[in-house]
Structure 1
Amino acid sequence: MSLIDLIINLSLGIGLGTVGGLFGIGGGLIAIPVLGVLFGMDQQLAQGTALVMMVPNVMLALWRYHQRNHLELRHALPLASMGFVFAFVGAGLAVNLPAGAMRVAFIVFLLALAAYNFSRLFVTGATHSGEMRHGWPWLGVLGAAAGSLGGLLGVGGSVVATPMLTSLFGTSQVVAQGLSLALAVPSTSITLLTYAFHGHVNWPQGLVLALGGLLSVSWGVHWAHALPERLLRGLFCGFLVICALILCFKV
């Protein structure tokens, strides 16, 4: 890797880390389309390389969210454990699917998720309380569903879990993002191992991206707690649409 490539990837990692900390997603959602479009990677290689950056990023972001919100172990554990098991299943399926079909599925997933989050902006929901509306086994069900999609699409499952936690489980946006990171830590780790075993990882590029992300993820977490919740959700919707549009250039 040349010095110019090193600087480009480090700068990209810094930007992705900030976004990942802001939305509690580890940066993978934007890293995957960027790697596919700008660096010409097929879908599986882009997802696997993005996971190298995501694993340390979500670990650091989880710690920062926990410092600010003190995430409950009884809530995080069922999400994380079921996410881990089903992420392995989803990742095993992903490495054997055609890259073109995977890319189209990823775009559809992003647009559906954006539409759902956008609809939530106009719902006058109940105020969030300190108690979770639903516990085990429903948190385990959510962990299984999010882990499966996270393993399949290489996004860690947090993008699925966050809107479900706010709408169905009654948490605030920042608590939902923190719990989603607890889900993402084990699920992204097992997904990365699966992709790496099948040769779908560019380690040098992924490690430089990870370094950049670690330098900046705390900034994103800070802004997540500083912004109004409605604005944070709106920004997340726009972010999802932008990611889908970027990927359309490769279809």
Structure 2
Amino acid sequence: MGQPGEIGALLTVTGLGAVLGAALGGVGGLLGIGGGLLAIPVLALWFGMDQSMAQGTALVMIVPNVLLAFYRYRQHHAIPLSRALGLGGIAMLASYPAARLAVGLDHHTLQWVFIGFLLGLCVYLCWLVARPPRAHAPQPRVLSARYLPVVGVVSGVFSGLFTVGGGLVATPMLVRGFGHRQAAAQGLALALVVPGSLIALSTYASAGQVSWSLGLPMALGGLSTISWGVACARRLPERWLRSVFIGFLLVTTALMWPG
């Protein structure tokens, strides 16, 4: 058995992780982006983790959240399983080399790449907020369905390199590029993220870039509140939520900017 001091420290980390996970899960559900994207800068800034360790630990929280979201989605929406499995397999293959690249990069390079990702996400969300609202109708298809594997590759690369963002990039690609309805696109995006996240977690863990003692209680805490956050989001204007998220991303980017 460990010494009393070690046991006390472990209990403290476990409790802190559960509280932090609950907060991130609730806010992530409210903003519609899950807790993973929020967890990475929090782990880097508050816990002093380098970028790779923060991303790997956040994956411990991301994987069960994505699995729960996919399960809930399957209860209410039909997802073509053959297409989901095919694209998910492609995303899995693409996520492994991207994750290997991420764990091999030095801390500062990966941090700059992640900052670039956050700024790009800000630009995209600003465009969504600024554009006029439109009816929820299917978009005209621009690309042939034979190019759908590209969506799997892009989603897998984002899942492996950043551990987050696979669904964020896959959904607009499916809607605007292939004419999918929003609901169908979100379901397929979840199917892409699940296998890519599992492969990325395995890769980060094998490289020793995961803090399980903090990540597991964060995952349990996040699962307990993410549904509450989603329920609250339904009562608030979507543009207001996106504007709050943009503000959070800008503040986070400024704090992560190397001094």
TM-score for the superposition, normalised by structure 1: 0.85
Q: Is the 8 A contact 2:102 2:160 kept in 1?
A: yes
Which residue is equivalent to 1:19?
A: 27
Which residue is equivalent to 1:52?
A: 60
Which digits, 9 at most, give the CA deviation of each residue in 1:25-48, with x for residues without a partner? 442111111000100001111111
Shift of 1:220: 2.9
Matched, 1:146 2:137: no
Pairwise CA RMSD of aligned residues? 2.7
Paired with 1:129 and 1:180, the residues of 2 have a C-alpha distance of 19
Q: Is the 8 A contact 1:129 1:170 kept in 2?
A: no
Misfit runs of 4+, over 6 Å? none
Which digits, 9 at most, give the CA deviation of each residue in 1:48-98, with x for residues without a partner? 111111111110122223334444435533442221111111001111111
Which residue is equivalent to 1:182?
A: 191
Q: Is the 8 A contact 2:15 2:217 kept in 1?
A: no
Shift of 1:160: 2.1
Matched, 1:35 2:43: yes
Unaligned runs of 5+ in 1: none
TM-score for the superposition, normalised by structure 2: 0.83
Task: Within 5 Å, give how 1:112-127 maps onto structure 2.
Answer: 112-124=120-132, 127=135
Q: 1:204 aligns with which of 213, 219, 229?
A: 213
1:215–1:64 distance in 2 versus 1, CA, 3 Å: same
Shift of 1:131: 7.7
Shifted more, 109-118 versus 163-172: the winner is 163-172
Percent identical residues:
47
Which residue is equivalent to 1:217?
A: 226
Aligned residues: 250
Which is higher, the Rg of structure 1 or of structure 2? 2
Paired with 2:133 and 2:187, the residues of 1 have a C-alpha distance of 20
Paired with 1:147 and 1:16, the residues of 2 have a C-alpha distance of 24
Q: Is the 8 A contact 2:138 2:175 kept in 1?
A: no
Amino acid at match of 1:39: F
